[in-house]
Amino acid sequence: MSATGGLHVVALGGGHGLAVTLKAVSAYASRVTAVVSAADDGGSSGRLREWWDGPAPGDVRRCLLALAGEQADQQLWARLLDHRFSQGDLAGHSLGNLVLVALAEQLGDFGAATAELGRLLGVSARVLPATGGRVELCAEVDGPDGPEQVNGQAAVAYSEAPVRRVWLGPACPEALPEALEAVATADQVVLGPGSLYTSVIAVCSVPELRRALAARRGGRVYVCNLGYQVPETAGCDADSHLAALVAHGVVVDTVVCDPTSEVGALSPTGLGMSALSVPAPERRAAEAVLVNAPLSGPGGHAHDPSLLAPVLARLARTAPPS
């Protein structure tokens, strides 16, 4: 428990998957911190990055909107900031992205801009970019003539070639001190669901964050995806998801799966992957505890926050102190 007596939960990731997790953890945690991937270079964020040298705003915007308060004015602002222009020079841009960048220029700091927009929306959680500077996601993929490098989150997500590994450029971007403290001291840290390489592993590719996660005593939960993300994780089952985390040095204690989903649950051999050629302490991720539970919403394509919340809450209350 945190000093205030309630649970403090950190959610790591990006995109729509992180928004689902934030809705779930907000149901049982008194303090919520989101640490968001800042490598998005597609759509509106990608166009802004042509001249904007700060973190990509898109995933931060999605998290803030997911956590907006219920008052009429807060919901009005949420709808307004989610507006996407359809014509003219602004076609394709999200108003929320433009406002975040404008606030960052006015205040001189992207973190301060995120906090100010969160105040306007009535967001009680803390939303932090994984790093305060500009980063690019890079990947090694299996090309027709051997390994090839692909640069840019969008290019990695839509690469038809299987992904071997991902990393960030520059290689050692600085994590925000507030994000490091949150990961180190929270009662629980939840990774996923979301794009395996371009959201979950992307945010853990900030070396300081990955080390802070590995240094914890417990409380690290990975929520596995329900379905394949084509082409990024086409054909990848739950075992493949855990293997990718282990290979990238991402340590988790528990893997939560919906066994009825397309991705399925871990197999008995998937929980004993110590034979993988990875160093300790990263190998501890291969010893994760498996929790099976029905998690999918209508249609089976997305997690239902109301089903995910009680599963995560039970795990949070039984986790050892960080």
Beta strands across the sheet bearing 146-151: 146-151, 136-143, 163-169
Q: What is the pLDDT of residues 72-120, one digit of tens each?
A: 999 999 999 999 999 999 999 999 999 999 999 999 989 899 999 999 9
What pTM does this model have? 0.89
Percentage of the chain lying above the pLDDT 90 cut: 70
**What's the CATH number for 1-36+132-322?**
3.40.50.10680
Q: What is the pLDDT of residues 185-230, one digit of tens each?
A: 999 999 999 999 999 999 999 999 999 999 999 999 999 999 999 9
Residue 298 has pLDDT above 50, yes or no: yes
Q: Residue by residue, what is the 3-state secondary structure of 181-209?
A: HHHHHCCEEEECCCCHHHHHHHHHCCHHH
Percentage of the chain lying above the pLDDT 70 cut: 93
Contacts of 2 by beta carbon, 8 Å cutoff, 6+ apart: 8, 30, 31, 185, 186, 187
Structure tokens at 98: 């433009």
Q: Where are the domains of the chain?
A: 1-36+132-322, 39-129
Residue 278 has pLDDT above 50, yes or no: no
